[in-house]
Amino acid sequence: MDALHKLQLLAPLTCYEPTEEVNPLGQTAAPPPVPRDLKNCIAQATLPGGQKIPLLKTLVSSYCEMDCRYCAIRAGRDFHREIFIPDELAQLTVQLYTQGLIKGAFLSSALMGGGPRTQDRILATAEILRRKYRFPGYLHVKIMPNAERDQIAEAMRWADRVSLNLEAPNAQRLSELAPRKEFSGALFQRLRWVDELRRAATGPGRVPSATTQFVVGAVGEPDVELLTTAAYLYRELRLARTYFSSFSPVPDTPLSDHAPSDPVREHRLYQASFLLRDYGFDVEELPFVQDGNLPRDADPKLAWARLHLTYAPVEVNTADRTTLLRIPGIGPKNADRIVSARRLGTLADLRDLRHLGIATQRAMPFILLNGKQPPRQLGLWAT
């Protein structure tokens, strides 16, 4: 079988691994225009610095020994499986790059022969790309369960980003989702090593960012569990992103009769995740309801503001940056603009805020301008 045909079989399976094509709100970018024979192989990605590129996404292999209860490529499931030879995939990647069809690649794999052996195949592909073919594009490399520390160090040598899928927020949930995977050692420890290697990096070489992924709604985990783990990953291990993938039942799997997860839930998790990463919120401050989930009818920042700022609006002219970030409609860049603008004079009118790019319709119920609350209009409570 030629390399392109293998790609057509292996690349679409990465739809279960959200990466740079997913924006901060959990929305997947429309794919770039590509030839028909590359449909479902190339995604429109946004890199950590904001640059948008076409990204090849593929598995090195779909042969799998694991029995994850939700997964489309689990062992024993009947479908056509394939595997790339490392140089074969590297050549194809360079060919697509030379043709201008991609500017980067995401390399992952199903697990066969153990984590280290699977990692070797991914690393061989990455090394050939960088050393033999001098591939200059963006490279995202997946870390396998039980990968060795030296292998992770090598992956970080070649990659701009590395990732390892935790899949679940803790050991109990993972045992229900993927019984043969071990949470603390096989998975979480590998993310600790990534952080240690990043902290130890010196000199001008690349220091790749790191991400993880959770499956949402397959085994009854509440939002508070997912976000507690996400908060730790941001704070202690300095992850760049935590991706959330709504569970969708796959035929011929043990969870095929489970209901799919509500996509609104995934959206709220992404919103809350960025409150933890960029807005100074702690998990305990998020507006969970009694079952440990976020409300679906409002984004979590608005829900928090309704509880805490409705009767204690924030004076925009004196509040510090941390407090400004609690106001709906004000993000990190907006808060910085406000702080800079206040040095030039008092912000006395909504027009001053609009000039700074602030979503005044969302902010109005929760702010004071020079001691006065702007007049409210109908519709300000919309989510």
Reported as a single tens digit per residue, the pLDDT across 23-34 is: 988 899 999 999
**Distant-in-sequence, close-in-space partners of 50: CB < 8 Å, separation ≥ 6:** none
pLDDT at residue number 375: 79
Structure tokens at 51: 């640059």
pLDDT at residue number 381: 47
Length of the chain: 383
| SS3 state of residue 83 | strand
pLDDT at residue number 96: 98
Nearest of 310, 372, 315 to residue 324 by alpha carbon: 315
| SS3 state of residue 287 | coil
Using CA of residue 149, residue 150, residue 151, residue 153, what is the dihedral sign? positive
Residue 103 carries which DSSP code? S
User: What values do phi and psi take at 236, rounded to 5?
Assistant: -95, -35
Contact 233, 191 (CB under 8 A): yes
| SS3 state of residue 372 | strand
Query: Which of the four CATH numbers 3.20.20.70, 2.40.50.140, 3.40.640.10, 3.30.360.10 does domain 3-285 have?
Result: 3.20.20.70
Contact 321, 311 (CB under 8 A): no
| SS3 state of residue 197 | helix
Contact 101, 34 (CB under 8 A): yes
| SS3 state of residue 174 | helix
pLDDT at residue number 382: 46
pLDDT at residue number 377: 58
Report residues of the chain scoring pLDDT below 50.
380-383
